[in-house]
Structure 1
Amino acid sequence: MAELMGPRLYSCCNCRNHVSLHDDIISKAFQGRNGRAFLFSHAMNIVIGPKEDRHLMTGLHTVADIYCADCHEVLGWKYERAYEATQKYKEGKFILEKSKIVKENW
């Protein structure tokens, strides 16, 4: 039955543009600017902003904000570089804020 509905997706809360697959969630235990956030291995239909260094809860990181490709809503950020060895697993991964995404095909 699940095959008939297609994959479970997350979409932009503003325009419903598909931005990630449920299967790409690495962790739900992250904090965004506006509350809970999820760490994803991949994101789609996004625009990546300029890189900048930010002091986050887990130390200094180089990140780039990510925007919905359709409506340009800020959805979260991409980890470009982690300066602490224990945080290197985040490099190339995406934070999507729970308040900025909605479930589709559940």
Structure 2
Amino acid sequence: MADAIGPRLYACCNCRNHVALHDDIVSKSFVATGERRAFLFSHVMNVAVGPKVDRRLITGLHTVTDVYCSDCREYLGWRYEKAYDEAQKYKESKTVLIKFKIVKDDW
């Protein structure tokens, strides 16, 4: 009998704290500052958030909070709290993690 395969987890690049599940990726086509690839997740775990701030991003004005690893405080990305453009509302309550800030955990 084959071994059961567990969930595919992403971890913090610095301390390997589990921060997201592969199955929770909504989009892989996001871009962070400096043309770095990023993923949009419906849920994340083991993260701390900063204060809410209004920030003008590529897609317009949003209220966001920066997201950090809850163990080592490595900056990982940001969470959309509010989108002012109706077409961007789907991002609300979702989190962007910068690809080079997260690593696959044993998969």
TM-score range relative to shorter protein:
over 0.9
TM-score (norm 1): 0.95
Q: Which residue of 1 aligns with 2:101?
A: 100
Q: Which residue of 2 aligns with 1:38?
A: 39
Q: CA deviation at 1:8?
A: 0.3
Q: Which residue of 2 aligns with 1:20?
A: 20
Gaps of 5+ in 1: none
Indicate the percent of aligned positions where both proteins have the same amino acid.
Answer: 65
TM-score (norm 2): 0.94
RMSD, matched Cα: 1.1
Q: CA deviation at 1:75?
A: 0.2
Q: Which residue of 2 aligns with 1:83?
A: 84
The AA in structure 1 aligned to 2:60 is G
1:5–1:105 CA contact under 8 A, matched in 2: no
Count of residue pairs brought into register by the alignment: 105
Distance 1:73 1:27 in 2: 22
CA offset digits 1:22-55 (Å, max 9, x no partner) = 0000000001125000000000000011000000
The AA in structure 1 aligned to 2:64 is V
Gaps of 5+ in 2: none
Q: CA deviation at 1:70?
A: 0.3
